[in-house]
Amino acid sequence: MHIESRKVDRITISLPHGTAFAADELSTKLKISRSEIYTVAMERFLAEQRRESLQAIAAEMAEEYRTDHNLTCLTALDGEEFA
């Protein structure tokens, strides 16, 4: 789990003691820095948020597709042969 060289921003965060302690233990066990632990965790959290946002948008679009006749009026042509 090596973080590639890239520009970084230094930030200060506050964590519950138990969370910080668990991250320190994991850092030691995996032989990676705490920064890598927190970077991976934040990247996964952000990816999850993007995925949830896209799922909500897709659900909204699906509902609109089901209820808007203008979007479905040509579906009767689906599967027809075109010359």
Q: Which of 28, 30, 40 lies closest to 3 in space, CA to CA?
A: 40
- Does 11 reside within a domain? no
57 domain residue, yes or no: yes
- Cα dist. 18→23, 24, 58, 77 in Å? 9, 10, 37, 60
CA distance 33 to 24: 9
At 64 the pLDDT is 82
* Residue of 41, 15, 16, 11 lying closest to 26 (CA atoms): 41
Domain count, the chain: 1
Cα gap 37→73, rounded to integer Å: 51
Q: 45 lies in which domain range?
A: 17-75
Q: Check: pTM over 0.85? Answer yes or no.
A: no
Is residue 6 in a domain? no
Instruction: Please write the tens of the pLDDT for every residue from 9-23.
Output: 999 999 999 999 999
Whether residue 24 is predicted with pLDDT greater than 70 in this model: the reply is yes
